[in-house]
Amino acid sequence: MTLTVLEQISAILVGLALLLGFIRLLLGPTAPDRVVSADTLSVIVTAALVAVGAWLGNALYLDVALVYGALAFVGIVAVARAIEGGHS
């Protein structure tokens, strides 16, 4: 597919955000760092899915982003509860 200039810029931004968040996941010294970076990445990926839907010119892909955004929150909250578990 061929992208317009704006779409190419958005693609580069999404890729850069993914890369930076992933570097934090690999480097992060403690587990909470890594969990927070996973949460950040899930938000970025929700945006990336919407962008991909725009590039492909098909509104069907927005449903995937909807489901992803709704469920990534629940998953991250469960992991956060598991971390907090020891202190309560």
Partner 1 sequence: MIWLLGLLIGMMLAAAIAVLVLENHIAAVAATSIVSLALSVVFVLLRAPDVAMTEAAVGAGLSSLILALSLRRLGLWQIEGDKHPEIAKEGVDA
Partner 2 sequence: MRNLTSLLFAAGLAFFLLVIAARFDLGAAPMLVGDAILQEAPAETGAANIVTSVVLGYRGIDTLGEIAILFTASLAAGLVLGRRRPEASRDADSGAVLQISAQLLFPLLLVVGFYIILHGHLTPGGGFQGGVILAAAFFVPLLARPGTSVNHTGLSLVEGLAGAGFILIGLLALFQGKAFLQPLLDKGTLGMLVSAGTLPLLYLAVGLKVGAELAGLLANLADSEVDP
Partner 3 sequence: MSDPELHWLLYGGAIGLIVIGAAGIVMGKHLFRIILALAIAEAGANLMLVVAGLRPDAVAPIITGGMIPEQMVDPVPQAMVLTAIVIGVGIQALVLSLAIRVYKAYGTLDMREIRLKMAADIDAEAGVDDEVSQEGPAGERPLELPDAVTSGGPGQ
- Binder of residue 43, out of partner 2, partner 1, partner 3, none (CB less than 5 to 8 A by kind): none
- Nearest approach in angstroms of CB 81 to partner 1 is 7
67 near partner 3 (CB under 8 A): no
- Residue 3: phi, psi to the nearest 5? -110, 150
By CB under 8 A, name the binding residues for partner 2: 60-61, 63-64, 66-67, 70-71, 73-74, 77-78, 81, 84-85, 88
